Amino acid sequence: MRPADPLKAVKSQLALLGHAPTAADVVEALRRCGQVVSDSAVLQVQQAVRRDSVGAGLLDPLLALPGVTDVLVNGPDRVYVDRGEGLELTDLRFESDEAVRQLATRLAASVGRRLDDGSPFVDARLASGVRVHAILDTVASPGTCLSLRVPSARRLTLDDWVESGSLDETAAAILRRVVTAKAAFLVSGGTGSGKTTLLAALVGCVDPAERVLVVEDSLELDPAHPHLVRLEARPANAEGAGLITLTDLIRQALRMRPDRIVVGEVRGGELTDLLRALNTGHEGGCATVHANSVADVPARLEALAALGGLGRDAAHAQIAAALDIVVHVARDGPVRRVREIGVVAREASGLVTTVPAWSWAAARPVLGPGWPTLERRLA
């Protein structure tokens, strides 16, 4: 059984004040609760109150660690951190699941979102840029869960990818040509594989004279580009009003004189609007998509297009006309690596396939059957 927190009653007293407690308030609360009054006790209570009311509370020290990308809370007793080398179990513990729930509720409320038994999960972006997902213990086991994604403090370039061993010089040159030629492309990969980071690096290679419109569910892409406009979707409020979808934003972006349209991630029917944009003269568009390999991308796109009301034949026709190239990234232990570059091709049946043009295999680059096609498209 978890020992009782001797300061819990003191914090409860201070919570009733309705304002930030002063040192005198803390002294009075300590006396009322039968606690010893000393300078150290007053300081301890003030720090505890601040920790429970500002920022991410107990998780703030983890979010401040160098290189941290994710902080995950699985109930009160298991808190993990990822600093780029996989998940590590930390020594941090919450006093109870109610403490995790209070933190999750406060984080949601800080950005105007509701989190309670009637709405037991939320996905939001904090003012600091940290993306937070929370789901309450009424739905999740072993308790209330928090998933915090920390934005990179540094904008990575393609040169950084090469320097870290995630990309070889040949592939980097290919990708720069993809951007310069205004080829439409997708970056595919799994969760945490580096799709968004690579897409940001590629958008950073766009000619500074071009106007780039970025559309995202939650602002994550932050490319180093001088003429960038970022549009962020918005969920409905507690009354069900105020919803702004990616589809809405793609349509607005088309009216804003874009040279390039970038979608942070296509995960639903908004794919059909992106395909229409790419098929109506908006060259060089790009996005990320979840997929296990370059070969799996057409099936994934077909499924997403169906959510947007496109039948199979129409979807494949639109995909073949709109997209040129797929770049696949994957995690290889702690290293995120560009694994494949494929070209989009249409078979005699009318269905789209992806043909490998370049891949990283057995620690060396390998050219595939799609290489001549890729060369022609980038000429």
Residues contacting 171, CB < 8 A, separation 6+: 338, 341, 358, 360, 365
Cα gap 233→245, rounded to integer Å = 5
Question: pLDDT of 214-246, one tens digit each?
Answer: 999 888 888 999 999 999 998 877 677 889 999
Those residues of the chain that have pLDDT short of 70 are: 1-22, 26, 33-37, 39, 41-55, 238
CB 341 within 8 A of CB 174: yes
Cα gap 132→110, rounded to integer Å = 12
The predicted pLDDT at position 102 comes to: 86
Cα gap 238→244, rounded to integer Å = 14
The predicted pLDDT at position 4 comes to: 45
The predicted pLDDT at position 169 comes to: 92
Cα gap 8→48, rounded to integer Å = 10
Q: Is the pTM of this model over 0.75?
A: yes
DSSP for 191-203, written as a single string: TTSSHHHHHHHHH
CB 261 within 8 A of CB 282: yes
The predicted pLDDT at position 231 comes to: 96
Sheet holding 79-82, edge to edge: 87-89, 79-82, 70-74, 145-149, 131-135, 121-125
